[in-house]
Amino acid sequence: MKALVTGGAGYIGSNLVDRLRREGYEVWVVDNLSQGKVQNIAHHLDDAHFHFINDTILNQSLMERVISHVDVIYHLAAVVGVKYVVQNPLQAIITNVRGTEIVLELAHKYWKKTLIASTSEIYGKSEQVPLAENSDRLLGPTSVDRWAYSDSKAIDEYFALAYHKLGLPVVVVRYFNSYGPRLDAKGYGSVIARFVNQAMRGEPITVYDDGKQTRSFTYVDDTIQGTFLASNCPEAAGRFFNIGSSQEISVVELAHKVKTLLGSPSPIVFVPYTQAFGNNFEETRRRLPDVRLAEQTFGFRATVPLDDGLRRTIAWFQETCGSGGSGSGAKP
């Protein structure tokens, strides 16, 4: 089997590449290294069954050559992360919408099975937890850049559904706060990457707002397992699946956990959203997935407890960045 992983040099993408190679796939990666890092795939570069193309998914003729050649597409390339989207909404919208349009148009032309990576941001600030796949979305006004991310991925989902209506086997997975090795610490990987690096350096751990907002952090091995199972389940085609853990934790609890696991002297400080994101920002206060559909459809359930996943992630940061924590790890 031949697979294309768009965004395959990114944090989730490169972990997926590892899995696909272990499963015996020949893998093509298209990644322009805007958020991905060549270090994430360096161990595959001499492999005859691995092919890296350093280019944008917006290059239609390139994408046509690659897509016509492979059997399955994992479309993960996107501008991800609230911070990046808020900083550059135009790039996020173009990459996420136009990029997916190109991928699906070509997948349809050459009739290739496709998985589209989406996000729990889809649900916006809805507090109807646990968030089921068919829950209402609740977004703020379009003047708040954060929601451009949610809407750009929602358009991707509409595209996926529309092509499925034409018969194309396409499945959508919605990731819930994935974390693990290769998270970016220097740029903006996730709150876990930030807290681990702050704690490693003995710097203040920056909890935004009151820290009572919650997330369901999902270890990357679980994220990849859900992705792989979804793409190999024919009944999943034309549907959307939460890929996340049902272990919910507040951000301030997370800060204490990271501090304790590292035995760090870092103080925990509270930072207003306005200081972190400016005045025009809205937050998702609770984010907990309903995990039943993925379990019923393709037997996926996240299994790595947060403490274990954090230990493994911390070990990776310590190995990669040293105790000084340069944070030069991989970008998501």
Closest contact distance (angstroms) between CB of 252 and ligand UDP is 8
Q: How far is CA 118 from CA 159, 173, 242, in A?
A: 12, 6, 9
Does 206 contact ligand UDP by CB under 6 A? yes
Q: What is the DSSP string of 241-257?
A: EEE--S--EEHHHHHHH
DSSP code per residue over 77-96: -S--SHHHHHH-HHHHHIII
User: Which distant-in-sequence residues (6+ apart) come within 8 Å of 76 by Cβ?
Assistant: 5, 6, 7, 8, 10, 12, 13, 16, 117
In 3D space, the residue among 271, 255, 165 whose CA is nearest the CA of residue 217 turns out to be 255
Interface residue with ligand UDP, options 191, 230, 291, 306 (CB under 6 A)? 191
Task: Dig out the tokens for 7 from the structure.
Answer: 């965004």
Contact region with ligand UDP (CB under 6 A), list: 1-9, 43-51, 200-208, 230-238: 200-208
Segment interacting with ligand UDP (CB under 6 A) among 28-36, 48-56, 99-107, 202-210: 202-210
Q: Does 174 bind ligand UDP (CB under 6 A)?
A: no
User: Which of residues 12, 16, 79, 82 is near ligand UDP by CB under 6 A?
Assistant: 82
Beta-bridged to residue 219, according to DSSP, are 179
Query: Which of 14, 56, 96, 177 lies at the binding interface for ligand UDP (CB under 6 A)?
Result: 177
Nearer to ligand UDP, 9 or 85 (CB): 85
Size of the site for ligand UDP (CB under 6 A): 12
Shortest gap between Cβ of 290 and ligand UDP (angstroms)?
Answer: 17
Site for ligand UDP (CB under 6 A): which residue of 95, 152, 178, 213? 213
Q: Does 219 bind ligand UDP (CB under 6 A)?
A: no
Q: Strands 170-175 and 113-119, how do they pair?
A: parallel
Least Å distance between CB 281 and ligand UDP? 9
User: Based on CB atoms, which residue is closest to ligand UDP, 114 or 190?
Assistant: 190
| Catalytic site residue from 25, 74, 84, 149 | 149
Query: Exposure pattern of 264-292 as b/e (b: 16+ CB <10 Å)?
Result: bebebeeeeeeeebeeebbebebbbbbbe
CB of 78 to ligand UDP, least distance (A): 13
Q: What would you measure as the largest C-alpha separation in the chain, in angstroms?
A: 57
For 242, phi then psi, to 5°, come to -70, 130
Least Å from the CB of residue 69 to ligand UDP: 34
Question: Which residue in 194, 134, 127, 131 sits closest to 161, CA to CA?
Answer: 134
Query: Which residue number, 283 or 319, has a Cβ lying nearer to ligand UDP?
Result: 283
Shortest reach from residue 74's CB to ligand UDP, in Å: 21
Among 207, 268, 304, 330, binds ligand UDP (CB under 6 A): 207
Confirm whether 179 is a catalytic residue: no
Closest to ligand UDP by CB, 56 vs 245, is 245
Q: Quick one: which of 84, 163, 208, 300 contacts ligand UDP (CB under 6 A)?
A: 208
Residues in contact with ligand UDP, shown as a per-residue x/- string from 235 to 264 under the rule CB under 6 A: ----------------x-------------
Active site residues: 149
Name the residues that contact ligand UDP, by CB under 6 A.
82, 177, 190-191, 194, 206-208, 213, 215, 251, 283
